[in-house]
A and B are shown apart, each in its own frame.
Chain A
């Protein structure tokens, strides 16, 4: 990874920030000692399993549980009639919005159902002494189904007379909305523009592929209080959702939610997974219950990206000024709404907000089908949108005869202008620098050979493409973006840092400890991070939206500064004792020591002060502690520009990525190693999205055709090129030590940049993801003839 520091950064003297420090949980992870939900044992723990419907659409006519219930070791067999009538959405996101948001987000799911809306819907739940008994009991449940005609395609589902996935929903349209920031008059703008382009396409249902499949433990203690243990990305919201939407007899304080080590999230854990059914079984049995899912079950019903069918139109004047943008989205929610409406809205927000433009129109429809439930996924709509929008932008550049860089540079929002989240100004953006420095590093000027160049001769053809993005560092002003942190000093001068974000492998705990160490004066190695227990941590909406570094980081910074001040203040008498007369303001607390400014030789250890504050028999005694908070009221976007070079085998359709470079507008890098890992990991996930990952349903049966890692091929380290990450550093005054978010952005550009590079190589534009060999070949055999707009359909099933 290479860093370009725009302001030089010469005057800085930082001890921890900007260094490759080791993550606090790394030893447990690499020695296999980290405790995941599945590793937990507790007295009386029972195991639960679910019976999934084998049909795409069916009504349960009758269900006989008597044989299952009679199996020795079975403790409870529950069906729809035992589950609360209350309906809820898997997504917990709306809990971070004002309550009117629930009007839009249909609460449409029950824990157990008697109308099965997809293959995999949950019909019954069993708890037993061990998992094998539970599994055997499933086979003894006798269900008689009445088969209904299913519908798998969102466009078919909207037609009059199509099967109704939910009885109370007309034309299967679960959600419909205009973009909240529509403005101007696009009709007029398009009519008056010099150049107009249109492009349509759809993304696939990429799977999160978190290594740990879903699992949850629920346990009521002797006082009736509930503890939930599960790999949640946002346990505080989970708690609110569970009590307000599912078990309405519980209140917020009745639930303690613990997130132990989490085997990856990528957005899948911003939802209620198996927790509600675990609670139901724990209630029925009076014992702790763990419910577990297999990889195949995860594939068949847990969650994936939402496939968003999009049509984008752009209008521009001859000089390249974009004067109109339109985006129409039809999203396939699957059988229940979950995150599909919010990801579609975020897609519009990011896609329509990338360019400065006065005439903007966006519209989204979210449609039910009898397919598995979709969900939030890293990038949250942005990656889905970029694939279509960035190709449209390149088409416009071609029509105008402009370099793709020039067209983008001309239209992106600049600092001081409105941001994509209109109520707020764009306070900080180094997107232009990302484009310029990235292009230089990539060698764009030499590699991009213009729009009219002849294609390469021979079987293998090369091309280059680029893409840019804006992404949020938390959704301030929109979601409930506040967070708090607590820090307390032990008698030896070490500290506990209590924070909320969940550690899913991203390394956020370490990065936050680096901020705490830098600003509090307690050394990094001596900070122990505490997280993952709602009884201990303060409210926070969870790790998503690239928010943890920015929002939680600011709370940590606030807290650490307070600790630093307290340490200095309490150190004054210690210097007095040594005949050194100073005020707190004249002291520096740093790297575990306190000394008068400019006199590090006079240092005393922080431990001395911390110790005497605790073991103090006078009335002044109190442990050094502080809490800090932060409320973010804007999205404070981070940006990225990416460049790809590909080689297409025109005989097999195979695409190899030869080189990939992404330049990121990060503000400041807190931990370069972690940032580089995020850049690499997200790019690889993006390459899978671009070229390989395909969630395919049989269009007759609704069966998931690739529900194992044998048939769902994600890229391995051998499928990807060297990935160059370029950090454009320019500390942002509102970020903690200047930092902005980085976790999600990297997954947005790859598919878009690769699509543009494929076009540059072979003159063919692909309308659906993944851009698999067979689709490329089919397009080439079509002599590159364009497919009609809007014809790209469902999960790569058709072109």
Chain B
């Protein structure tokens, strides 16, 4: 049960080095917006005695989103910062949609994207979306810098591959290949047992060939099912090489649900959970494919227009 916070030491270092030094000296925990950390401290799920705020650390506020250079979101960037960015909306739609749909929406003004990803909470949305975009975490630490693909980032519930003292400096996603679209969707449910989660979320990325009539690459991710979001390679394989159409999306969705295990022993609950997952996956893939096909993309449009004018 959430209780009153117990007192803790609090530091506001100015540099990454200083932050890491403090973390080592006081066995401190990094904090950004605190949207995950503070509730878990209140619940006594954690008892950190020293918090090191990253809010004043210089160099963690990267914000670069461009179709040619990819997406770079520094540790200090809050989720709502992505919303007005047109490239985020068009080229990294899955992540944009996940940020857009944070519920309640004002959480996006406080919670950081990286903090959301580092929380390793099984039902958070941003991990599902970022995984579909092949996101990677750029990390600096006492032993130097490294890059961890999101695939390898989630170790267990509430646990990431970060080593003590390591800081994620930014999230990076490669620029889209041509004729690619992505999408994110979620649906809320009621929890039924302690182990249950209260939603399902899904994200997909689909790339089409030059003629835009065959899928040549795909990511299919389902989250809020088990302890971490997962890519479903059988579903991806089912998509690749085929023409995008409704039946194919249904088949891909079925390929995912065939691998899933029920979360409770309640029959009707599981029946609906599986049905919703199927629809969610089908529609998410369909939307990603439709975006790839329509190439609804002002940058490309502008380039084409320029070429036409020439």
Measuring CB to CB, which residues of chain A are less than 8 angstroms from any residue of chain B? 49, 52, 54, 120, 131-132, 134-136, 138, 292, 294-297, 300, 651-654, 692, 694, 696, 698-701, 703, 705-711, 713, 716, 718, 772-775, 777-778, 781, 796-797, 799
Q: Is the CB of A713 within 8 A of B279?
A: no
Known A-B contacts A132-B7, A778-B268; the reply to A707 vs B2 at CB < 8 A is: yes
The answer to whether the Cβ of B272 comes within 8 Å of any Cβ in the partner chain is: yes
A713 to B272, CA, bound (A): 19
Interface residues of B in 185-217 (CB under 8 A from A): 187-194, 196, 198
Residue of B nearest to A703 (CB): B194
Which residues of B lie under 8 Å from residue A52 when comparing CB positions? 1
Q: Is the CB of A708 within 8 A of B39?
A: yes
Measuring CB to CB, which residues of chain B are less than 8 angstroms from any residue of chain A? 1-7, 39, 42-43, 103-105, 187-194, 196, 198, 268-269, 271-273, 275-276, 279-280
Q: Is the CB of A778 within 8 A of B271?
A: yes
A295 to B188, CA, bound (A): 21
Q: Which of B104, B190, B194, B269 has the most CB of A within 10 A?
A: B190
Q: Please give 19 more A-B residue pairs, beta carbons under 8 A apart, in addition to A698-B194, A706-B190, A716-B105.
A: A120-B1, A294-B2, A295-B2, A296-B3, A297-B3, A694-B190, A696-B191, A705-B194, A708-B39, A710-B39, A713-B103, A716-B103, A716-B104, A772-B189, A773-B276, A774-B273, A774-B276, A781-B271, A781-B272
A692 to B190, CA, bound (A): 9
A433 to B292, CA, bound (A): 55
Q: Shortest Cβ distance from A699 into chain B, in angstroms?
A: 8
A772 to B268, CA, bound (A): 13
A347 to B187, CA, bound (A): 33
Q: Which of A294, A700, A775, A799 has the most CB of B within 10 A?
A: A294
A699 to B190, CA, bound (A): 13
Q: Is the CB of B2 within 8 A of A297?
A: yes
Which residues of B lie under 8 Å from residue A701 when comparing CB positions? 194
A120 to B3, CA, bound (A): 12
Which residues of B lie under 8 Å from residue A777 when comparing CB positions? 272, 275-276
Q: Is the CB of A711 within 8 A of B189?
A: no
Known A-B contacts A132-B6, A296-B1, A713-B103; the reply to A652 vs B42 at CB < 8 A is: no
Which residues of B lie under 8 Å from residue A651 when comparing CB positions? 275, 279
Known A-B contacts A294-B42, A652-B279; the reply to A773 vs B189 at CB < 8 A is: yes
Residue contacts A-B, CB under 8 angstroms, 7 given: A52-B1, A132-B6, A653-B272, A698-B192, A773-B189, A777-B272, A781-B272
A393 to B273, CA, bound (A): 32
Q: Is the CB of B39 within 8 A of A696?
A: no
Q: Shortest Cβ distance from B127 into chain A, in angstroms?
A: 16
Known A-B contacts A294-B42, A700-B193; the reply to A135 vs B276 at CB < 8 A is: no
7 smallest beta-carbon distances between A and B, as pairs: A296-B2, A774-B272, A705-B191, A777-B272, A135-B4, A651-B279, A778-B268
Which residues of B lie under 8 Å from residue A652 when comparing CB positions? 187, 276, 279-280
Q: Is the CB of B196 within 8 A of A705?
A: yes
Q: Is the CB of B104 within 8 A of A709?
A: yes
Q: Shortest Cβ distance from B310 into chain A, in angstroms?
A: 44
Q: Is the CB of A698 within 8 A of B187?
A: no
For chains A and B in complex, what number of residue pairs have CB atoms within 8 angstroms? Answer: 104
A708 to B2, CA, bound (A): 9
A253 to B128, CA, bound (A): 62
Q: Shortest Cβ distance from B103 into chain A, in angstroms?
A: 7
Q: Shortest Cβ distance from B265 into chain A, in angstroms?
A: 11
Q: Shortest Cβ distance from A55 into chain B, in angstroms?
A: 12
Q: Is the CB of B1 within 8 A of A797?
A: no
Which residues of A lie under 8 Å from residue B103 when comparing CB positions? 713, 716
Known A-B contacts A651-B279, A653-B276, A716-B105; the reply to A774 vs B4 at CB < 8 A is: no
Which residues of A lie under 8 Å from residue B280 when comparing CB positions? 652
Which residues of A lie under 8 Å from residue B7 when comparing CB positions? 132
Q: Is the CB of A294 within 8 A of B187?
A: no
Which residues of B lie under 8 Å from residue A706 when comparing CB positions? 190-191, 198
Q: Shortest Cβ distance from B3 into chain A, in angstroms?
A: 6
Residue of B nearest to A651 (CB): B279
Residue of B nearest to A132 (CB): B7
Residue of A nearest to B268 (CB): A778
Q: Which of A292, A710, A772 has the most CB of B within 10 A?
A: A710
Which residues of A lie under 8 Å from residue B279 when comparing CB positions? 651-652
Residue among B2, B39, B187 making CB contact with A773, cutoff 8 Å: B187
A734 to B196, CA, bound (A): 55
Which residues of A lie under 8 Å from residue B43 when comparing CB positions? 296
Residue among B4, B6, B272 making CB contact with A778, cutoff 8 Å: B272
Q: Shortest Cβ distance from A697 into chain B, in angstroms?
A: 10
A711 to B268, CA, bound (A): 21
Residue among A296, A694, A773, A799 making CB contact with B42, cutoff 8 Å: A296
Which residues of A lie under 8 Å from residue B194 when comparing CB positions? 698, 701, 703, 705
Q: Is the CB of A781 within 8 A of B275?
A: yes
Which residues of A lie under 8 Å from residue B191 when comparing CB positions? 696, 705-706, 711
Q: Is the CB of B104 within 8 A of A49?
A: no
Which residues of B lie under 8 Å from residue A781 when comparing CB positions? 271-272, 275
Q: Is the CB of A132 within 8 A of B4?
A: yes
A773 to B194, CA, bound (A): 20
A49 to B5, CA, bound (A): 12
Residue of B nearest to A799 (CB): B268
Q: Shortest Cβ distance from B278 into chain A, in angstroms?
A: 9
Residue among A131, A710, A775, A799 making CB contact with B4, cutoff 8 Å: A131
Which residues of B lie under 8 Å from residue A300 when comparing CB positions? 1
Residue of A nearest to B187 (CB): A652
A54 to B43, CA, bound (A): 13
Q: Shortest Cβ distance from A546 into chain B, in angstroms?
A: 29
Q: Shortest Cβ distance from B150 into chain A, in angstroms?
A: 22
Q: Shortest Cβ distance from B153 into chain A, in angstroms?
A: 22
Which residues of B lie under 8 Å from residue A774 when comparing CB positions? 189-190, 269, 272-273, 276
Q: Shortest Cβ distance from B222 into chain A, in angstroms?
A: 15
Residue of A nearest to B188 (CB): A713
Which residues of A lie under 8 Å from residue B190 when comparing CB positions? 694, 696, 705-706, 772, 774, 796
A652 to B272, CA, bound (A): 9
Q: Is the CB of B198 within 8 A of A797?
A: no
Which residues of B lie under 8 Å from residue A136 when comparing CB positions? 6
Q: Which of B3, B39, B105, B189 has the most CB of A within 10 A?
A: B3
Q: Shortest Cβ distance from A167 into chain B, in angstroms?
A: 27
Which residues of A lie under 8 Å from residue B5 when comparing CB positions? 132, 135
Q: Shortest Cβ distance from A121 into chain B, in angstroms?
A: 12
A73 to B239, CA, bound (A): 66
A104 to B26, CA, bound (A): 60
Q: Is the CB of A711 within 8 A of B198?
A: yes
Q: Shortest Cβ distance from B125 into chain A, in angstroms?
A: 12
Which residues of A lie under 8 Å from residue B198 when comparing CB positions? 705-706, 711
Which residues of B lie under 8 Å from residue A296 when comparing CB positions? 1-3, 42-43
A33 to B280, CA, bound (A): 46
Q: Is the CB of B4 within 8 A of A696?
A: no
Which residues of B lie under 8 Å from residue A709 when comparing CB positions? 104
Which residues of A lie under 8 Å from residue B268 when comparing CB positions? 778, 799
Q: Is the CB of A294 within 8 A of B276?
A: no
Residue of B nearest to A712 (CB): B198
Q: Is the CB of B192 within 8 A of A797?
A: yes
Q: Shortest Cβ distance from A720 into chain B, in angstroms?
A: 14
Residue of B nearest to A777 (CB): B272
Which residues of B lie under 8 Å from residue A132 when comparing CB positions? 4-7
Which residues of A lie under 8 Å from residue B6 when comparing CB positions? 132, 135-136
A701 to B191, CA, bound (A): 14
Residue of B nearest to A47 (CB): B4
Residue of A nearest to B282 (CB): A651
Residue of B nearest to A701 (CB): B194
Residue of B nearest to A795 (CB): B190
A772 to B192, CA, bound (A): 13
Residue of A nearest to B107 (CB): A710
A696 to B269, CA, bound (A): 14
A707 to B194, CA, bound (A): 12
Which residues of A lie under 8 Å from residue B105 when comparing CB positions? 716, 718
Q: Shortest Cβ distance from A704 into chain B, in angstroms?
A: 8
